[in-house]
Amino acid sequence: MKNAQIILVDDEKMVTSAFKTLLKVEGYTNVKCFNNPVEAIDFLKENTPDIIVSDFLMPEMNGLEFLTKAKELYPEVSMILLTGYADKENAIKAINEIGLYKYIEKPWDNDDLLLNVRNGIERSHLMSDLRDKIAQLEEAKKELEKYSTDLEKLVAERTKDLTIANSKLAGIINYCADGIIILDKKGNIEQANPACENMTGYSESTLKTKKFQEVAYITTKAGNQAIDNKSDCIFGLDKDKNDILVENCMIKNSLSGAEIPVEINFSSINSDDKTDKFVGVIRDVSKQKETERLRDDFIATLTHDLRTPLLAAIQTLKFFLDGSLGPVEEKQSVLLSTMLQSNEDLLGLVNALLEVYRFDSGKLTLCKTNFPIKDLVTQCYEELKPLADKKNIDFKLECDIDDKTEILADKSELKRVIINLCGNAVNYTNKGGEIQIIAKAQSGDLIFSVADNGNGIPKEDIPYLFNRFSQGTSRKRSTGTGLGLYLSRQIIEAHGGKIWLDSKLNKGSEFTFLLTNVVNEERQVVNG
């Protein structure tokens, strides 16, 4: 568009100079100005313009005569006549007789002039394309006439089917309830459908000036997190990946201010310019989230109501076992002990479900205090060591932390994480195996890891291991609830930390969590 060849003819040099300067400011680089219409005709015989603008009154040849000759050379090119108010009637007549595109009265409005020039260029291109298409259709018609009537009918049917298919595709894109957006790998928006406009509150033209990072963000337990705007690609978009699902994403509507939870499915697409392009289908999951919330509230209420009868049953069984209600025979004692253990396990599951619900709903507030971290790690180690000894496991603790070094965290919740990670290591390590617990404080951060030499976890299962109700791996399922690691991740992330797993099959696994800026430097005692 900016390289279009624009021809201006006016006998006044001041007009042509001002016109050319205006167009150059707007980015048009190929503007040819003539003060003599005869010279302009000679130029047009050798060069094809995209638009012609001519003055009406000129000495050697008036604008109507000049444009009539130009029309004979280039019938499809848009032509604009510049005229004074007194010549308005002649200009209208010229439009009807010669077929001019527009007339503009002097003095002109710059914005109006630029708009007409831009539209005229587009019209010229469309007319040229139309002419080419017509020529192609005429040629195709001659070829089609060589075939039989049945073949013509088949072509017509296929054309009709293609038209219907294109219409359906356009309807799917324009009337789809899900937002459809096209991005490059850096997040620059190149196209969006009406549903996407409704979600963001921006028009498509405005969205094209923005990055996706400006209209969306990721939600985490530690708070809202902006999508990375500094890396070479967002969401790890890669043309070699067939499908990328982005969850826990929020779009803020610029008009209403409403925050809309969405899930986005990205896929790579082929582009003409050989650059990486991705189409994203954005689904509003507001109703789904509300349904999940109602479901979780129901489960939490039901679970909470189970605690009272369970506690009553546990206490009653304890009364029987300790003889408070009379002597109990040995066989009865074994049966009652089994019942007690089952009820206590069920109570543990109920409590775990309630903890998960509290973290998911954001209703659980961490109670952070300063406490010696080495004492907590040692306490957890000593609680689990008898279980490790029972399986003849070499259970080691390496705690490179001063006895009085304190951290700021929720002690009971952090203990839950440490017990869970170490307990899993004991449960899934074979008899005679090795487990090493390492805890250290450095640069204000706490690093805790548990490594074992067990069977390991397949690489493809690692991303799902911290999900809710994930049980073991695809090769071997555990008998647990599948809530331990999920709850551990929730607790660590609520502290603003990270938890991850490194594992290799038949070599073992290492669970690690990192809490940043939790070590209270003022409460560390340096011996010496």
Continuous H helices in 242-321: 286-321
E strand or H helix at 41, and its extent? Answer: helix 37-44
Closest of 284, 283, 234 to residue 258, by C-alpha: 284
CB 317 within 8 A of CB 336: yes
Query: Tell me: the pLDDT tens digits for 182-228?
Result: 888 888 888 888 989 998 999 989 988 988 888 888 776 545 555 65
Beta strands in 158-302 (DSSP E): 179-184, 189-192, 216-220, 223-226, 244-252, 259-269, 277-284
Q: Quote the tokens at residue 116.
A: 């007409």
Angle at the Cα of 23 (from 21 to 24), degrees rounded to 5?
65
Cα distances (angstroms) measured from residue 528 to each of 353, 406, 443, 501: 48, 19, 20, 37
Question: Distance (Å, rounded) from C-alpha 194 to C-alpha 199?
Answer: 9
**In Å, what is the CA distance from 251 to each residue of 155, 197, 211, 255, 261?**
46, 11, 13, 12, 7
| Model pTM score | 0.46
CA 208 to chain centre: 16
221: DSSP letter: T
Exposure string (b/e) for 281-317, b if CB count within 10 Å is 16 or more?
A: bbbbbeeeeeeeeeeeeeebeebeebeeebeebbebb
**Long-range Cβ contacts of 265-271 (<8 Å, 24+ apart):** 266/183, 266/235, 266/237, 267/242, 267/243, 268/237, 268/238, 268/239, 268/240, 268/241, 268/242, 269/182
pLDDT in tens, the chain (528 residues): 678 899 999 988 888 898 889 888 888 889 999 999 989 999 999 998 999 998 888 887 888 888 888 888 988 889 998 877 556 677 677 677 777 888 888 788 888 888 998 998 898 888 888 888 888 888 887 776 776 677 667 778 888 888 888 888 777 778 888 888 888 888 888 888 898 999 899 998 998 898 888 888 877 654 555 565 555 667 767 766 667 888 888 888 888 888 889 988 888 887 666 677 888 899 988 888 888 777 766 666 766 667 668 777 888 888 778 877 788 888 888 888 888 888 877 777 777 776 766 666 665 678 889 999 999 999 999 989 998 998 899 999 998 888 888 999 989 889 989 998 998 899 888 888 999 999 998 888 999 999 998 888 888 888 878 776 655 555 554 445 567 888 888 889 888 899 999 988 878 899 999 999 998 865 554 443
Sheet strands (E) in 290-405: 369-372, 394-400
Q: How far is CA 502 from CA 141, 189, 426, 450, in A?
A: 67, 36, 17, 10
